[in-house]
């Protein structure tokens, strides 16, 4: 049976007795309906010289002079409970402005994703995505920014916003980067709701909290798993004893920021899958690829690497260790060879989603599983219809 069939079964098992009354929801948690532009979804333009006084962009009345001279445009998208000065902005924007000749646009949709409103936050993402797409479509339609100069970088829920934005864009983007894209309510979601390789010509993803807030399965053309994308990144227990999971989640934007001007580099090695990696069935010699801002757009597949415990995190190139004999042995074992590369992680992930949600919402989660799937299912349809 294919893994997707298993997932559908799981979804069914969860949804038969799903209760569509969202009793869990706090009255403060609003699903916002509205038009773009929207007063609570704002866009802030930063340059090296205006980093303390960003320009508030009006998507309907853009000033071409704000984007002169021509430079690449990097769009940063925060996640749940974030804002324009929160991660990934706080990590990445200063390094970009210090080291690269670029424009940075930070989106801010804080009022739509307040704590503890994770469910409504997820339901508000299509509106956020639509408004971001409106800005991008107008920038390109009016020849203010060439489409190929635009690169979206989204963290957590922002990674999913990046994927959804593609639904409303007139032209395919050159590149999207997903930084530990959010898991809760996205495991079973379709491609219209979540980041996938169809969303841009090149989609690169970094996974740092795959047993927690981030998605485990590959979502891009290339997926990097620093420290196995583990629930606990090195250094996080010491650095953040109360919340090692969110510290691990936040490593993705930290690594990415460092990758912009690192001279050491985060070098990863390819392996067929996450599962193969954890059971040591990956080559430990051969070609390595750079993770992060300077990743080669020719790179495809899943890559694995280790990092340090604190900044600077990059460890440079990995040593070659010849394990070809071990690999050969395992290839002879018919049982192991029959594990389809992504089967177990996906199945595992559907169950882990619930735990991630409990962590995010800080509850014991009774009934969360039902809510989770009910909303997840409902979400896909309207979004697909809205596709341009």
Ligand X SMILES: *[C@@H]1O[C@H](CO)[C@@H](O)[C@H](O)[C@H]1NC(C)=O
**Whole-number Å distance between alpha carbons of 81 and 77:** 12
Q: Tell me, what DSSP letter sits at residue 142?
A: T
SS3 content of the chain, % helix, strand, coil (to 5): 40, 15, 45
Q: Which is nearer to ligand X, 143 or 263 (CB)?
A: 263
In the complex, the smallest distance separating the C-beta of residue 309 from ligand X, rounded to whole angstroms, is 18
Task: Provide Rg for the chain, Cα atoms.
Answer: 21
Note the residues at the interface with ligand X (CB under 6 A): 32, 34, 39-40, 48, 94-95, 98-101, 111, 190-191, 196-198, 261-263
Q: Which is nearer to ligand X, 32 or 347 (CB)?
A: 32
In the complex, the smallest distance separating the C-beta of residue 220 from ligand X, rounded to whole angstroms, is 9
Q: Which is nearer to ligand X, 101 or 141 (CB)?
A: 101
**Whole-number Å distance between alpha carbons of 233 and 198:** 29
In the complex, the smallest distance separating the C-beta of residue 230 from ligand X, rounded to whole angstroms, is 24
Q: Which is nearer to ligand X, 99 or 337 (CB)?
A: 99
In the complex, the smallest distance separating the C-beta of residue 2 from ligand X, rounded to whole angstroms, is 12
**Whole-number Å distance between alpha carbons of 118 and 320:** 44
**Whole-number Å distance between alpha carbons of 344 and 351:** 11
Among all residues, which ones are annotated catalytic? 156, 180, 249
Residue spans of beta strands (DSSP E) within the chain: 42-46, 55-57, 73-77, 103-108, 150-155, 173-179, 200-206, 222-226, 267-271, 288-290, 301-305
Are the C-beta atoms of 132 and 77 separated by less than 8 Å?
Answer: yes
């Amino acid at each position: 049976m294919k893994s997707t069939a298993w997932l559908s079964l799981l979804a069914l098992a969860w949804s038969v007795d799903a209760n569509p009354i969202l009793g869990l929801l706090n009255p403060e948690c609003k699903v916002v309906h509205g038009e773009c532009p929207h007063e609570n979804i704002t866009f802030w333009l930063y340059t090296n010289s205006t980093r303390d006084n960003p320009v508030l962009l009006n998507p309907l009345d853009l000033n071409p002079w704000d984007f002169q001279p021509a430079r690449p445009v990097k769009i940063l998208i925060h996640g749940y409970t974030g804002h324009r000065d929160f991660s990934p902005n706080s990590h990445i924007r200063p390094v970009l402005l210090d080291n690269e000749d670029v424009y940075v646009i930070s989106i801010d949709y804080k009022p739509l994703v307040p704590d503890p409103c994770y469910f409504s936050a997820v339901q508000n993402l299509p509106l956020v995505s639509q408004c971001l797409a409106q800005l991008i479509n107008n920038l390109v339609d009016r020849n203010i920014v060439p489409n190929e100069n635009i690169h979206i970088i989204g963290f957590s829920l922002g990674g999913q916003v990046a994927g959804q934005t593609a639904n409303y864009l007139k032209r395919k983007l050159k590149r999207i980067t997903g930084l530990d894209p959010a898991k809760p309510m996205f495991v079973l979601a379709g491609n219209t709701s979540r980041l996938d390789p169809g969303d841009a010509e090149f989609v690169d993803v970094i996974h740092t909290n795959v047993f927690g807030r981030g998605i485990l399965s590959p979502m891009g053309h290339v997926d990097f798993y620093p420290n196995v994308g583990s629930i606990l990144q090195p250094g996080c227990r010491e650095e953040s004893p109360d919340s090692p999971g969110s510290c691990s989640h936040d490593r993705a934007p930290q690594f990415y920021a460092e990758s912009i001007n690192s001279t050491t580099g985060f070098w990863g090695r390819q392996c067929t899958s996450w599962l193969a990696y954890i059971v040591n069935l990956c080559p430990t010699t051969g070609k390595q690829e750079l993770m992060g801002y300077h990743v080669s757009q020719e790179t495809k597949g899943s890559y694995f690497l280790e990092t340090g415990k604190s900044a600077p995190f990059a460890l440079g190139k990995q040593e070659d260790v010849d394990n070809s004999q071990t690999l050969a042995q395992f290839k002879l074992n018919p049982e192991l060879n029959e594990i389809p590369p992504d089967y177990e992680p996906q199945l595992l992930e559907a169950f882990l989603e619930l735990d991630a949600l409990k962590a995010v919402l800080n509850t014991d989660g009774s009934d969360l599983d039902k809510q989770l799937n009910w909303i997840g299912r409902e979400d896909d349809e309207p979004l697909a219809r809205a596709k341009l």
